[in-house]
Amino acid sequence: MFRTNPLKAKLARGEPTLGAWSTWTHAASIELMAMAGYDAIIIDHEHGLGGLAETQSCLQALSAHPTAGLVRIPSADPIYIKRILDIGVEGIMVPGVEDAETARAMVAACRYPPHGTRGSAYGIARASNYGLAAERYRDTSAAELLIIAQIESVAGVLAVDEIAAVDGIDMLFVGPFDLSGSLGKLGRFDDREVRDTIAKAEAAIRDRDDVWFGALPSLDRSAADMVAEGVQFVANRSDGTLMRDAAVADVGDFRTALKGMAPR
C-alpha cells in the first residue's frame, strides 16, 4: 500500500524512533511487533530466511499499522533493489557501504529515469497499489523511500563524509559487529581499538545535519542511551531474539519454581 512513509515522517519531526529486525520473515510475528508499537521493522535479507513472496506478505501485514516496512538487502545489486521496491518496501538498507560510488549506485537504482536507472513497472507493481496509484507513485515515491547505508568497516568509517554527501542517502547506520570484525576483533567490545573506532564512526555521523543517524546499541548502552547520545533510529531486538529470550526465561522460571517445591 503506497502511503506517506511513517518512519520518515517521524524522523523529519525530530522524534526518536525504535525499530526491530525480522530474520524469520513471518507475517504473524511482524504483525505482532507492529501491534506492540515499533516504528519500523527491518526485514533482513542479508541474514534472514525469507524471499520476495514472504516479504510481500509481511508488508501487507504492516500496511494496517503506522509501522514502516524496511528491507536490508544483501548488497547494492540494482536488480535486487528493483524487485524489492516493486513489492512496496518503504526503505532499503544496504550493508557494508564503503565509498560514495556504491552510495550513488544505490540511489540511482531507487530512482526512475531521468533521475536514476530503476526499471519501470509502476503501472502494475504492488508498490503503486497495483497501478491504481501509478502516476502518484512514479512522481512521489522517491520522496517517501528511506535509503540507508550501513557503516560496518574501517573503510566505511573513513568514507563517512563522502557517503553522507551523496544526494539521496537519508541515513547512515552503524553496524558494530562487522565493524569490530574489520579490525580483526569480532565481537570484542571491551577492546580499546574497537571502542574507539565505534565512537569515531558515531561522532562522524552525529555531527552531520544532512543525514539521519541510525545504530544498533553497543558498548553496554541501551536503546534509550543511544537516543540520549544523538541516535535518531535505534534498531535493537529481532523476532528471533525476542522469542528466544522469552522462551529461555519461561523455562528457567518453571525449573526454578520446581526446585522450591516439596515432592508430593
To the query of whether residue 26 is one of the catalytic residues in this protein, the response is no
Q: How far apart are CA 129 and CA 125, in angstroms?
A: 7
Catalytic residue among 26, 47, 65, 115: 47
**Residue 148 DSSP SS3:** strand
CB within 8 A of 120, min separation 6: which ones? 112, 113, 138
CA dist 156 → 95, 172, 236 (Å)? 10, 10, 21
Amino acid making up residue 250: D
Q: How far apart are CA 50 and CA 6, in angstroms?
A: 24
Cβ–Cβ under 8 Å, residues 33 and 58: no
- Grid cell at residue 242: 525476542
CB within 8 A of 229, min separation 6: which ones? 202, 206, 221
CA dist 37 → 33, 42, 195 (Å)? 7, 14, 31
Catalytic residues: 47
